[in-house]
Amino acid sequence: MSGKSEIIVDTRYGKLNGTTENGLYVFKGIPYASPTTGEKRWLPPQPPVPWSGIRDATDYGTIAPQPESRLGMISEFEVPEPQSEDCLFLNIWTPGLDNSRRPVMFWIHGGAFSMGSGSQPMYRGGELAKAGNIVLVTINYRLGVLGFLNLNEVTGGKIPATGNEGLLDQIQALKWVKENIAAFGGDSENITVFGESAGGMSIGCLLAMPAAKGLFKKAIIESTVGDMAVSLESAVKTARVFLDIIGISPDNVKGLRSLKVEKLLQAQQELAVKTGGMAPVIPVVDGKVLPDFPLKVLRKGFAREIPVIVGNNLDEQKLFWAVLPDFPKVDESGLKKRVAKLAPANFVDTIIETYRAARAKRGESTEPVEILSAILTDITFRFKAIAIAEAQCKNGQAAYNYLFTWKSPAMGGKLGACHALEIGFLFGNRDDMFCGSGPEADELSAKMRDAWVAFARTGNPSSKLLGVWPAYCEKRETMILDRTCHVEVAPYEEERKIWKIIGEDNIRGSLP
């Protein structure tokens, strides 16, 4: 295949006209649900309305309404895309429209539940599908206050939004894929969900949601954050603050549903300032759609049949500092003040000295800012990944852990192995400014794709290019992804142990 040519596929909802690109069949902007606009705003998604004739699927659909990304300064892949409240579309890259029953990899994008799309340039091109002979699916889902604002309680049920409508969009997309992917050469009984940051958090929630049961067989969780959800009590408080900002009574359902999107986004930005976080709204433990905090549900064995890969990047925190006017300047006094907000006062000095000694032993910087970055990365990202692996292992399921340590060349190397850096390597769309280039980068990219695809195919990420990847369970064996990929037993163990002594209930970590 070369160039572009029309190609027709018949789905349960109608015929689609796609194209061929880069040796793949490509279908873009496929509606997997009916528009959630007007009176359907804040309601669960419904299946798409069937169409007659042939629907064009050669252009990406509009993406969820969202504020402008602040990451354009470090990545050429951050480009604006047309937005609309009518945004529930997915995209498919496949090597063949046949009966080969290829593994399906279903990508859920990140972006603090308020930014991003399934059609961002970093995910385009289908390199992962081509290299691994799999079917790749990427999706949009409702973001921000349109997808994750709980309104049920404050409106007395007049708007029955649980705050999990964005997750329900993901489930509806999975249902569409399960129903239709055979027509695109995929195996509906071998679907792997994978995602990063808010996408990883989403997968943690999907693993704990009864409505998602049976829709996928494997899960890859990259850089999940915190508890992956908030309590109903917290979500209700957030909803009240939001209604105060927009100045509309909770009884005024018509007014809420007729608010212009621009007004909602403006209020969402103000909400982020008032709540002091990058993600003003995230999934909600409402007791029904999401019965409990995902980690609690996983520890009880709810997803014991699902093998997982879960991991994070070594310097996650540094990406969030990159959007500030300047990297934080932290001295020893400032370090102690920051750590005192995260842990009991009697542990502050012990924590800092544990990190300093462990880093010195490894030949790493012991500057206060580097110690703070490591602490924030650990309690916000790494320990949650480890906890998920431990939960699956305890319930008899293989869980594979990784630590991505390749350093970004951006900003003179200040970013380190920061949040989101691994995505370009995985999808084969590396931004040289952010990810780096050269033979070693090419090799790492190929090894990661090989392992992710092997896992999607068999449930085990051991592969020809990467080699044997043992499960985390018994020895805390972790795959280090860098210029030289290798397995380490219990890496960064001193840091993990000190927080284990403190106890997770005493850690006051939050979203970055």
Which tens digit of pLDDT belongs to each residue from 22-54? 899 999 999 999 999 999 999 999 999 999 999
- Cβ(293)–Cβ(388) below 8 Å: no
Give 219-275 pLDDT, tens digit per residue: 999 999 888 999 999 999 999 999 999 999 999 999 999 999 999 999 999 999 988
What pLDDT score does 325 carry?
Answer: 63
Average pLDDT, integer, range 112-122: 95
Helix (H) or strand (E) holding 422: helix 421-427
Average pLDDT, integer, range 74-98: 87
- Cβ(271)–Cβ(245) below 8 Å: yes
Structure tokens at 262: 């621009």
Structure tokens at 485: 């990929």
- Cβ(3)–Cβ(31) below 8 Å: no
Query: Is pLDDT at 3 greater than 80 in this prediction?
Result: no
What pLDDT score does 4 carry?
Answer: 47
Give 5-27 pLDDT, tens digit per residue: 579 999 999 999 999 998 999 99
What pLDDT score does 72 carry?
Answer: 52
Dihedral of alpha carbons 497, 503, 504, 509, sign = negative
pLDDT bin (cut points 50, 70, 90) of residue 484 is: very high
| Among candidate residues 237, 294, 244, the one with its CA nearest the CA of residue 267 | 244
d(CA 152, CA 240): 11
d(CA 165, CA 359): 43
> What is the pTM for the complete model shown?
0.96
| Among candidate residues 424, 242, 249, 406, the one with its CA nearest the CA of residue 315 | 406
Q: Is 197 a catalytic residue?
A: yes
Average pLDDT, integer, range 125-144: 96
Query: Is pLDDT at 84 greater than 70 in this prediction?
Result: yes
Query: Is pLDDT at 351 greater than 60 in this prediction?
Result: yes
What pLDDT score does 507 carry?
Answer: 82
Query: Is pLDDT at 323 greater than 80 in this prediction?
Result: no
Give 271-283 pLDDT, tens digit per residue: 999 887 778 999 9
Which of 39-48, 71-80, 165-174, 371-380 has the least mean pLDDT? 71-80
Catalytic residue among 165, 316, 390, 422: 316
d(CA 200, CA 109): 8
Query: Is pLDDT at 2 greater than 60 in this prediction?
Result: no
Residue pointed to by tokens 């032993």: 361
HSE at residue 2, side-chain half, CA atoms within 13 A, is 0
**Which stretches of 225-260 are DSSP H helices?**
232-246, 253-258
% of the chain residues with pLDDT over 90 = 89
**Which stretches of 282-418 are DSSP H helices?**
294-299, 317-322, 332-340, 348-362, 368-377, 383-394
- Cβ(192)–Cβ(219) below 8 Å: yes
Give 284-300 pLDDT, tens digit per residue: 999 999 999 999 999 99
What pLDDT score does 77 carry?
Answer: 54
Supply the mean pLDDT for the chain. 94
Torsion angle in degrees (nearest 10) through CA of 467, 470, 475, 480 = 50
**Which stretches of 149-197 are DSSP H helices?**
165-180
d(CA 7, CA 20): 8
Average pLDDT, integer, range 422-446: 95
Average pLDDT, integer, range 380-408: 97
d(CA 225, CA 318): 14
Q: At what angle do helices 332-340 and 368-377 cross, to 10 degrees?
A: 20
Q: Is 493 a catalytic residue?
A: no
d(CA 492, CA 468): 21
Catalytic residue among 114, 390, 419, 477: 419
What pLDDT score does 512 carry?
Answer: 47
Q: Is 486 a catalytic residue?
A: no
- Cβ(171)–Cβ(165) below 8 Å: no
Catalytic residue among 117, 119, 197, 408: 197
DSSP state of 85: S
Q: Which residues, listed in sequence order, are joined to residue 222 by a DSSP beta bridge?
A: 196, 311
Burial call 214-238: b when 16+ CB within 10 Å, e when fewer: ebbbbbbbbbbbbbbbbebebbbeb
Average pLDDT, integer, range 171-186: 98
SS3 481: strand
